[in-house]
Structure 1
Amino acid sequence: MKKLLLIGLFLISQGAWSQKNTDTEDIKILIEDFFEAFHAQDSTALKEFAHPEIKMQSVAIDAQGNTNLSTEDYSGFLKSIASIPKSTKFREELTDFKINTNGMIANASTPYRFFLNDELSHCGVNTFQLMKSEGKWKIIYLVDTRSKLGCK
């Protein structure tokens, strides 16, 4: 009887250790995987992270100090990533994560620094809007800021 009790307690404790990730953890993993695929120029994987109706925009300050908003089609983004020459090195380094969830929607903010051929090109913040459908998080909106000022 003691052996059965010990085995039962062992199985219960194992179940407690193997709990599923929280939504916040799942979103962080999704974003990290997104950037892993981005750096690998894997447009097939990048497509999997996004909802088919994803919207993408960028906010940047031009040489005259004007703030501009640009919109890009996700399929255009995928083509541009896949077409980067292999001789060009690029890396987006995320410096933090702030994730808020509310049921089936979430927001994630990731400050970043972007390096092109090992030189700091610009910095900014990515903001991801996500939705949970059929138990999986998908990116539905991605907007980033881009600046050459204040990058550390």
Structure 2
Amino acid sequence: MKPLILFASLLVFQASFSQVVEDKKAAKQLIEDFYEAFHKQDEKTLKTFAHPKIKMHSVSIDARGSTSLSSETFSNFLDYLVAIPASTKFNEKLHNFEITLNGMIATVSAAYSFYINDQLSHCGVNTFQLIKSRAGNWKIIYFVDTRSKLGCE
């Protein structure tokens, strides 16, 4: 009887572990897809990744190390993005994903370097809060980033 209980416990553990791995992959894929659409300035696709009540903040660090917090609506973010002229090349490179799951929410963080016309503009960390829908899809509910010219390599 004990071997049967042990075997059943191992199966449940394996199924739980597999779900965590799949959820982490799906959360990371959402962010990668978000940035693919971001670089294409694809407003319609970006909207599909965000919850209708998404919140956005940025923490800026100036040359003296002083910080400021700003808020932006997702709509204004999209308006700004699509207004970038085709002649301006921009690229946000993500580094070192960290993903934490807690039931129906996930936190995805990644350091980034932002380039304009192939020149490093600034760097920082992006942190996304995600919620899992009933259908099993992740949606972005909160996005906060840091922006600094200090310590960028």
Give the TM-score band, short-chain normalised: 0.7 to 0.9
**What's the Cα RMSD here?**
1.4
Residue 148 of structure 2 aligns with an amino acid whose one-letter code is S
- In structure 1, how many angstroms separate the alpha carbons of the residues matched to 2:127 and 2:65? 22
Using the size of structure 2 for normalisation, the TM-score is 0.84
Q: How does 1:109-148 map to 2 (within 5 A)?
A: 109-134=109-134, 135-148=136-149
Aligned to 2:150: 149
Q: How does 1:43-122 map to 2 (within 5 A)?
A: 43-122=43-122
User: Is the partner of 2:130 in helix, strand or coil?
Assistant: strand
Asked if 1:37 is matched to 2:33, the reply is no
Q: Structure 1 regions of 5+ residues with no counterpart?
A: 1-18
**How many residues are paired up?**
134
C-alpha contact (below 8 Å) 2:130/2:142 kept by paired residues? yes
C-alpha contact (below 8 Å) 2:88/2:116 kept by paired residues? yes
Segments of 4+ in structure 1 off by > 4 A? none
Give 1:64 deviation, angstroms.
4.5
Using the size of structure 1 for normalisation, the TM-score is 0.85
Listed one character per residue, the Cα deviations across residues 9-29 of structure 1 (whole Å, up to 9, x for unaligned) are xxxxxxxxxx98700000111
Between the aligned residues of both structures, percent identity stands at 62
C-alpha contact (below 8 Å) 2:126/2:146 kept by paired residues? yes
